Amino acid sequence: MKEYYDVIIVGTGAAGLYCALNLPERKRILLITKQEADQSDSFLAQGGICMLRGEDDYQNYFEDTMRAGHYENNARAVDLMIRSSNSIIRDLVERKVDFTRDETGNLMFTREAAHSQPRILFHEDITGKQITQTLLNEVKTKENIEICEYMTMVDLIEKDNVCGGIIIMDTENNVYPVYAEHVVLACGGLGGLYQNSTNFPHISGDALGIALKHQIQLEHMDYIQIHPTTLYSQKPGRRFLVSESVRGEGALLLDKNGQRFTDELQPRDKVSQAIFAQMEKEGSDCVWEDMRPLGKDVILSHFPNIYQQCLEEGYDPCKEPVPVVPAQHYFMGGIKVDLGSRTSMKRLYACGETSCNGVHGKNRLASNSLLESLVFARRAADDILFGTKTEFQCTQVDIRQYEDREQILSEYHAAVRNEIERVKNSHE
């Protein structure tokens, strides 16, 4: 690891990797991650990635996204995402992402809840892993990109609201100031702050705490999505997500008596509310998702990973309903950015789940997350290359203030929790 890079990218999920790949090879790039490079939430995305299916689909796709977001979306950001989708998909295919195809070789599409028609490309039920691993493999071939694992960002280097790099710490509390012309925060969400979450526990909103410290603008900190269907388990740890596309393909939600109690194709927040209400009514810990209407062939071919996870919990979804419960899943708020992924601090960008560009509004539409991450990661790369340049007056960093990594992170996490509560209370 060097002391100076052209670009530092914090995070090795889809957003961070794609931003790096959209920068020219003359740029010296450092990617850092708290764990191993493949331990990002992008690898966990199951359902797929949306794509505009021709001009006839535009208004429906736009309306589906706005309706799911309770019309609190940034319409310009939604338009940009949708209009960019075909070029993103073409690029992914050129990079050898293996989307599922029919017997004639055409791309296959599935449907998920709150979508008016099938427009979601997929690879079995591990689409996020297929896309992100493909990007990671390509990044590893680039001589200009260095990946540093088990490194945690604990602060920004900044002066007069201009970012000049980051402070990072390893697992033994060794401190490294690293300088760069541009810094991109692609650190993921905040699921690690919750007891029940589909996220990796180490993805816990660190960048948000750092942003609060430096008075970087945040937005919609209380917009936290609960996914309606995660596999119920009494085991501790991350909750396994049962993809939205399972219900999109025809799975039903049942009460303890085996009766349907809601429309399974509503937006996620509505389905979650219905499940919570049913659990309270019954005094139960879960409801039941019946995949049998899909048929054994569809379950085994489209959802093999979900099938295997259910078996490991003692349930055969080909023969019986499986228990599901809502859990924290996605963060629609975050570090406020414009359409170029610029934050309120000069030379600092944010993309992916840690950012808030307004695409998702109050509630994210299924399978828009991977697309949004890639679109705005590319926008960040474009602005780094072609945007206005700002000089940074180099400042000396006193590393003595950074002694205990866990204590620093604990303070950031407490600040984020307090900010979420403050914003919630301000709306009541």
Which of 184, 142, 140, 148 shows the shortest CA–CA distance to 25? 142
Q: In sequence order, which ranges of 22-74 are alpha helices (DSSP H)?
A: 58-68
Distance of CA 391 to the CA centre of its chain: 32
Angstrom distance (rounded) from CA 411 to CA 273: 32
Kindly list the distances between the CA atom of residue 393 and the CA atoms of 5, 142, 158, 211, in Å, as whole numbers in the listed order. Answer: 16, 30, 9, 20
Q: CA quadruple 254, 256, 261, 267: dihedral positive or negative?
A: negative
Confirm whether 268 is a catalytic residue.
yes
Token pair in block for residue 362: 């109050």
Phi-psi region of 70 (alpha: psi -120 to 50; beta: other; left: phi over 0): left
Q: Determine contact, residues 128/14, Cβ cutoff 8 Å.
A: yes
The total of other beta-carbon atoms located within 10 Å of residue 391's CB is 10
Q: Got the DSSP string for 270-337?
A: HHHHHHHHHHHHHT-S-EEEE-GGG-HHHHHHH-HHHHHHHHHTT--TTTS-EEEEEEEEEE--EEE-
| Cα 300-301-304 angle, rounded to 5 deg | 55
Q: Residue 225: which residues within 8 A CB-CB, separation 6 or more?
A: 268, 269, 328, 329, 330, 331, 332, 363, 364
Which of 148, 149, 153 shows the shortest CA–CA distance to 405? 153
Q: Determine contact, residues 169/185, Cβ cutoff 8 Å.
A: no
| Catalytic-labelled residue, pool 268, 347, 364, 379 | 268
Kindly list the distances between the CA atom of residue 302 and the CA atoms of 24, 46, 142, in Å, as whole numbers in the listed order. Answer: 37, 11, 33
Q: Determine contact, residues 202/187, Cβ cutoff 8 Å.
A: no
Q: Determine contact, residues 73/361, Cβ cutoff 8 Å.
A: yes
Angstrom distance (rounded) from CA 331 to CA 356: 9
Mind telling me the catalytic residues?
268
